[in-house]
A and B are shown apart, each in its own frame.
Chain A
Amino acid sequence: MKTVVTGVIGADCHIVGNRILQMALEEAGFKVVPLGIMVSQEEFVKAAVETNADAILVSSLYGQGELDCQGLRDKFEEAGLGRIHLVVGGNLVVGKQEWTDVERRFLAMGFNRAYPPGVDLRRVIEDLCRDLGVPA
C-alpha cells in the first residue's frame, strides 16, 4: 500500500476540498496521512520522514500557493527525500493567468505534477497510480 501525505499549505484554512481529496485517495486504496490546514513546509517533510511517504499532495486555495511552495523540493532534498513525488493543486495563483504558465512555474519549482482549480480527482488519482507504479 502506498502512503501519501496531504495538507493545505501556508496560512490557508480551506479544509473541505482537502477532505474530499483524502476520501477519494482512501477509496482508491492509498494510506493517507492527513495534515489538515495551515501546514508548513517543515510539517510536510517531517511527516514524510516518519511515515516513509511515497508522495506529497499539497493543496492551496487562497492564491498564495506560489509563495508558500517555494523551496519545498529543497527541504525534501535536505531531509534525504529529494526524489519524493510532489503534487500540487488548487487555486494556486491570484488573477487570470494562463494555466500552462502556472503549471510550468510549479514544475520548475520541483513539483512532478500541478493541477488547476476544478480538476477531476479521478484524473489526479489515475496520474498518481501511474506515477507511483500502482495498478489503477
Chain B
Amino acid sequence: MSGSELWLFIDFGSTFTKVVAIDPATETVRARVQAPTTVATDITEGLGAALRLLEREVGDGVAYTRKLACSSAAGGLRMVTVGLVPDLTSEAARLAALGAGAKVVGTFSYKLPASDLVRIRDLRPDLILLAGGTDGGNEEVILHNARRLAELDLAAPVIVAGNRVVADEVVAILRAGGKEPVVADNVMPEFAQLSVEPVRERIREIFISHIVKAKGLQAAESFVEGILMPTPNAVLNAAVLLADGCPGEPGLGELVVLDVGGATTDVHSAARGAPTDADAVVKGLHEPYAKRTVEGDLGVRYNLRNVVEAMAGEAPPSAPGVAPGAFRAIAERFSRDATLTPETAEEAAVDAALAGVAVGQAMRRHAGSVEVFYSAQGPISVVRGKDLRGVSLVLGTGGPLVFSPRREAILRQACYDPAERASLRPVDPRLYIDSEYTMFAFGLLGEVDAKMAVRMLTRYCRPIEEGTSHGR
C-alpha cells in the first residue's frame, strides 16, 4: 500500500486520542485507531502511539497530506457565561457557548456581586462570554459586570456580546483592566431573538489563537496542520452538513444526533423546531437551528451513579437478561474503570440500559415542551423550546452507542413517547448510526472539502438495520 495518500483527522479526547485515516481518492475510511490521551505529560506521546497503531493498519510509505484535529482534552474549552436575565441573555449566552463546543462551567446573571467574582476566579475558565441587554436595551448591568471582570485576577480572554450601544465602552473598561476583550454581535439583539453564529465564530478564533497553547496542546501542532475546534463543535458541524448538505450535495434533512460518552451525553439538533401545531403559542427564546446541549451529569462511566439514580423508579435497577441484584455490581465496576468495555452478555445489557436512560434524559432536556391550558376560548397549547416531533431522523454516535448490539433500543429512548406528550421529541424517526464512529472526522473534513464531507457522511451514517455490526 505504499505511495498512497491519506488524510488524517485527529480527536484529542479526554480519554482517548482517536485517529481516522481517510482515502480522499476513494472517499473511504481506511482506518480508525485510538490510544490513551497523554495530556498530563506530552500530548504527542498518545498521538505517537495512535499513529504507530495506524501504521500497522495502513502500512508504511503512506503520505499524510492533510492532518486536521479537534480537541476536548485537558478539560475541554471551559467557559463561563455572564448575562442579565437568567432565561434571556444568560440563556442565550449559554446556548451560544455550547454551540461552539464549549464546556460551560458556570452561568451568571444580573450584576455580579463580589461572591460571584470569587466563584468565577475559582472556576478558572479558559474564556468568558459577557452578554446582557438587547441592542438599545439595558446598559447598566453589562457595564457594571465589565468593571468587575476587569478587576478579576484571571488571564482568560473575554468575548463581549451584549448591548451594542455600550460595546465600545465595555471593551475599554476590560482593556484598562489588562484583559483581552473581543467584540461579537449581541447574542440577543432583539427580545427573545438569538444571534449565536457571530459568537460561535469568535469562540473558534480564540480557541485556535489562545486556548490550544494555554492547554499545552501546541506540541501537537508540529505534526498537525491545526487544532481547529473543540470536538463537540466538529460533531455539530457534521450534524449540520448531514442535515443540510451543501450546494451540489443533498443532505438527509432535519435530524438529531445523540452522542453518548463516558462522562457526558451530548445532543445536537439541526432542525428549525417550529411548532407542529399552527395554533400553538410560542414562549421563550427562539432557539438556534443548530443547537447543542450537553448533560454533564449523564455519562455511562464517570457519572454513572446519576444515571443509576435516574432509574430509581424501578428500584433496584434492572435490565432484561441481567440476574437480579447483579445490576449494581456491574455498574459499580464500570464506574471504577472508565476504560472497561462490556465482555459478557450481562455486562452488555447493563451498559445498554444505562445508555438508554442517559439518552432519554438528555433528549428530554434538549427538546422543547408543550403545556395545554384550558382557557375561556378552549384549550391552548403553549410551546417552549424546539418542537422536534417532525424530525424524521435520529442518529447515534459515541462509543457506548456505536459499539452496542442494543443500539436500536438505546436510541428509541430518544423518541416521542405517547405516555409523555409534553416532551416534543421526534415521532417514530428513522434510526441511524455513525457506523465507523468517525463523525468528528467528517465535521473536520467539512472545513476543507464540504462536498466530500457530505458524501462520506451520507455513506457512513447508516440506517441501523443495515449498519455494520460492532456488536460483541
Contact = CB atoms under 8 A, between A and B. Distances in A.
B191 A50 contact: yes
Interface string B393-413: 000000000000000000000
Nearest to B141: A49
Task: Name B's interface SS.
Answer: loop
B156 interface: no
Interface in A21-35: 31, 33, 35
B313 to A, nearest CB: 32
Contacts of B134: 33, 50-51
A19 interface: no
Interface string B422-460: 000000000000000000000000000000000000000
B382 interface: yes
B375 A50 contact: no
A91 interface: no
Query: Chain A interface: which size bin?
Result: 10 to 19
A95 B89 CA distance: 42
A49 B380 contact: no
A112 interface: no
Interface string B82-120: 001101110000000000000000000000000000000
B375 A12 contact: yes
A1 B136 contact: yes
Contact of B191 (A11, A12, A33): A33
B139 interface: yes
Interface string A38-78: 10000100110111100000000010000000000000000
A36 interface: yes
Nearest to A5: B191
A51 B380 contact: no
A33 B373 CA distance: 24
A31 B190 CA distance: 11
Given A33-B191, A49-B138, A52-B137, A13 B87 contact: no
Contacts of A128: none
A50 B380 contact: no
A47 B376 CA distance: 26
Contact of B281 (A31, A36, A47, A49): A36
Contacts of B88: 46-47, 49-50
A112 to B, nearest CB: 21
A9 interface: no
Contacts of B222: none
A36 B137 CA distance: 19
A36 B373 CA distance: 16
B137 A46 contact: no
B376 A51 contact: no
A88 interface: no
Given A11-B375, A12-B375, A38-B380, A50 B136 contact: no
B360 interface: no
Contacts of B191: 33, 35, 47, 50-51
Contacts of B20: none
B382 A50 contact: no
Q: In the complex, which of the residues B84, B85, B132, B382 has the most CB atoms of chain A within 10 Å of its own CB atom?
A: B85
A37 interface: yes
A3 B137 CA distance: 8
B188 interface: yes
A11 B137 contact: no
B356 interface: no
B299 interface: no
Interface in B108-153: 132-134, 136-139
B344 interface: no
Q: In the complex, which of the residues A43, A47, A50 has the most CB atoms of chain B within 10 Å of its own CB atom?
A: A50
A13 B85 contact: no
23 contacts: A11-B373, A11-B376, A11-B380, A12-B375, A13-B377, A33-B190, A33-B191, A35-B191, A37-B281, A38-B283, A38-B380, A46-B88, A47-B88, A49-B84, A49-B88, A50-B85, A50-B132, A51-B134, A51-B136, A52-B136, A52-B137, A52-B138, A62-B376
Given A50-B89, A62-B375, 13 more contacts: A3-B136, A11-B380, A13-B375, A38-B281, A43-B283, A46-B85, A49-B138, A50-B138, A51-B133, A51-B137, A52-B133, A52-B136, A62-B376
Nearest 4 Cβ contacts at the A-B interface = A51-B137, A52-B138, A52-B137, A11-B375
Interface of B: 84-85, 87-89, 132-134, 136-139, 188, 190-191, 281, 283, 373, 375-377, 380, 382
